[in-house]
């Protein structure tokens, strides 16, 4: 069951302000993940740790010199079919359990790194961003500003 869209609008804007594109359907998500190169997929959430930790961490991490070719988001409790599709088709087979908020980094359509809610909720945004940028350093190439 999805949350009322008016409730989600500011939380969607809180992540898209960093240039993260919404993928609200399974088809949009598949198209983003299927692209060559690297894609950060952010599973957004209504919880407090998404607002105060996960979303700001993404904003900080995307300022790093090495970053993915693109970044997209799905909203748990909003984009219900897209989130379930992400979990079932793209993450479950790689042993990545459902989690929101969470991050998954894909390279050439395959998940290569993930961070789960339990790794987010008790930490601060700069520390989370540091872990995200370590993954960027490992799997992404430098991008121009």
Residues classed as catalytic: 47, 49
For residues 50 and 11, is the Cβ–Cβ distance under 8 A? Answer: yes
Closest Cα to residue 35, out of 95, 109, 104? 109
C-beta of residue 58 within 8 angstroms of C-beta of residue 103: yes
Spacing of C-alpha 22 from chain mean position: 10
Distance CA 39, CA 8 (A): 23
| Alpha helices for 17-124 (secondary structure H) | 26-34, 48-49, 55-61, 80-85
| Strand-strand pairing, 102-107 and 70-75 | unpaired
Residue at token pair 């930790």: 53
């Amino acid at each position: 069951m999805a949350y009322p869209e008016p409730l989600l609008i500011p939380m969607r804007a809180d992540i898209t302000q960093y240039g993260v594109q919404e993928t609200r359907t399974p088809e949009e998500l598949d198209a983003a993940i299927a692209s060559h190169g690297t894609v950060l997929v952010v599973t957004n959430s209504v919880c407090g740790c998404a607002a105060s930790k996960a979303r700001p961490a993404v904003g900080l991490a995307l300022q790093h010199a090495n970053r993915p070719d693109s970044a997209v988001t799905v909203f748990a409790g909003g984009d219900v079919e897209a989130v379930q599709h992400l979990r079932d088709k793209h993450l479950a087979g790689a042993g990545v359990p459902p989690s929101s908020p969470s991050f998954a980094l894909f390279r050439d359509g395959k998940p290569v790194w993930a961070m789960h809610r339990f790794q987010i909720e008790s930490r601060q945004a700069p520390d989370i961003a540091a872990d995200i940028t370590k993954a960027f350093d490992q799997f992404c190439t430098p991008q121009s500003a």
